[in-house]
A and B are shown apart, each in its own frame.
Chain A
Amino acid sequence: MELVERLLRGDKRAAAKAISILEDYDKKAADVLGAIYPHTGKAHIIGITGPTGTGKSTLVFALAKEFRKRDKKVGIIAIDPTSPFTGGALLGDRIRMGSLTLDEGVFIRSMGTRGHAGGTSRATADVIKVLDAMGMQKIFAETAGAGQSEVDIARIAHTSIVVEMPGLGDDIQAMKAGILEIGDILVVNKADLDGVDSTLANLSLVVDREKPSGWKPRTQLTVATEDKGITDLADLIEEHYDFLKQSGTLETEGVERAKEELRAALSHHLFLRVFERPELIGEFNNLVQMVAKKEMDPHSAAEKLLGLAGIA
């Protein structure tokens, strides 16, 4: 494919078009993915998640500048929520990253969640592959502002960073299952605000426990707007990546990741087998009415659709 050849040479326009194809999942998507797949697997994927307003975009911007100084090409995927009512989205993460736009070694793409829960979008993992194939070495995936259980990013990223800030919650919040557990590195951003000590003390409950890989989560204070703590954070990110490589975790987790990806692709393709066929969309709408009237339960309705699609 000509488009793929161009993106493999680092052509940003081609990469941008390929990303749209994967996001919209149009007819060329399977071919694009198939063609780029052999060229992926070289990049270090770093997930950045955390509550709204903790400074994720500013932190990504600061880290991107730092890794550019270290001569790494940087890809950024910035995800913001899509309205569940209109399907529209206001993607505003570029506002904080303007001065990187013209850097040859940086590619930034904004994405809406498009109905996907979990802080990412269905296509996030696929879009990362485009950036990987075009030669980006550090790829940051910044999730939509997350609450407590938006943990999808950990299945996509090699290194997961959870961004907190002083004053967000007490020790019980830190003990709850969910988002803090996925952090390989826990960042307390806006560390020039009051309350850093108690935030750190609360996070120490999480940091105390080794991950299954043997990695002990670490904390880092930053003031991203002033580039404070960013060099240390970048060092930590590299340290974690080295750990993953040396411990063999990169490989074992790669199998897990492949399993998740195949699962997600399977459910997407099952979905498409129904929704690609106009007559089945009609049947879907009929079944919706029946489920709403309690004439049929949703699971039986799903089985019926799969039967009509020739799968069950």
Chain B
Amino acid sequence: MAKLRVLVAKPGLDGHDRGAKVVARALRDAGVEVIYTGLHQTPEQIVEAAIQEDVDAIGLSCLSGAHMTLFKTVMDILKEKGIDDIVVTCGGIIPDEDVTKLKEMGIAAVFGPGTPLQTIVDFHRKIAGK
């Protein structure tokens, strides 16, 4: 059976990766192959890593406030390359008013602070069952 693969990535310059690591570990414990790319990735690097790793989903984390720019760039590059088979989710410090805009960009889910890990796991299980 095909194994679910998820890239967990931190675009931009903030160094707060606790959340990304907690999510990575929760997904690992749910049987997912998680590729963690570390801090300070550019949107270009994230998309290229997602291509080479052939992931089913990308989870973006940003706590610096630059999410509207960084996440949009990721989505733009994906579109530009004609990639429509990778689900993108995000988390971090994201104000409520941005959630709708992020979803309009094509981000499938926004997991803000306090989201139960089970919610994130269940979301990815649904992708696996696609």
Q: A residues engaging B (CB < 8 A)?
A: 12-13, 15-17, 19-20, 23-24, 26, 82-83, 86-92, 94-96, 98, 101-102, 107-110, 112, 114
- B35 interfacial contact with A, CB 8 Å: yes
Interchain CB contact under 8 A, A12 and B2 = no
Tell me the bound Cα distance from A93 to B103 in angstroms: 31
Are the C-beta atoms of B1 and A16 separated by less than 8 Å? no
Q: What are 16 A-B interface contacts by the 8 Å CB criterion? A: A17-B54, A24-B2, A87-B31, A88-B31, A91-B33, A92-B35, A94-B37, A94-B53, A95-B38, A96-B38, A101-B48, A102-B44, A102-B45, A109-B53, A112-B3, A114-B3
SS class, residues of chain A in contact with chain B: mixed
Please measure, in the bound complex, the distance between the C-alpha atom of A90 and the C-alpha atom of B5, giving whole angstroms. 10
Q: Which of A16, A83, A89, A101 is in CB contact (< 8 Å) with B54?
A: A16
Number of A-B contacts (CB under 8 A): 84
Which residues from B are CB-within-8-Å of A12? 51-52
- The range of chain B's interface size is 20 to 34
CB–CB A108/B52 < 8 A: yes
Interface membership of B25, Cβ < 8 A: yes
Residues of B within 8 A of A (CB): 1-3, 5, 24-25, 27-38, 40-41, 44-45, 48-49, 51-54, 83
The B interface is mostly helix, strand or loop, or mixed, namely: mixed
Indicate if the CB atoms of A16 and B53 lie closer than 8 Å: yes
- In the complex formed, the residue of A with least CB distance to B32 is A88
Knowing A24-B3, A88-B33, A114-B3 are in contact, say whether A83-B53 is a contact too (CB < 8 A): no
Known: A89-B33, A91-B35. A83 touches B45 (CB 8 A): no
A88 and B41: CB pair below 8 A?
no
Contact B1 A24, beta carbon cutoff 8 Å: yes
**Do B34 and A26 touch (CB < 8 A)?**
no
Given contacts A88-B27, A96-B38, A98-B45, 14 further A-B contacts (CB under 8 A): A16-B54, A17-B54, A82-B33, A86-B28, A87-B31, A88-B28, A89-B34, A90-B34, A91-B33, A92-B35, A94-B53, A95-B36, A108-B49, A110-B35
Which residue on chain B has the smallest CB distance to residue A110? B35
Q: Is the CB of B48 within 8 A of A102?
A: yes
Is A19 touching B36 in the complex (CB atoms < 8 A)? no
Residue of B nearest to A95 (CB): B38
In the complex, what residue of chain B is closest to A18 when comparing beta carbons? B54
A121 to chain B, nearest CB (A): 11
Q: How far is the CA of A19 from the CA of B25 in the complex (A)?
A: 24
Nearest-CB distance from B47 to chain A (Å)?
9
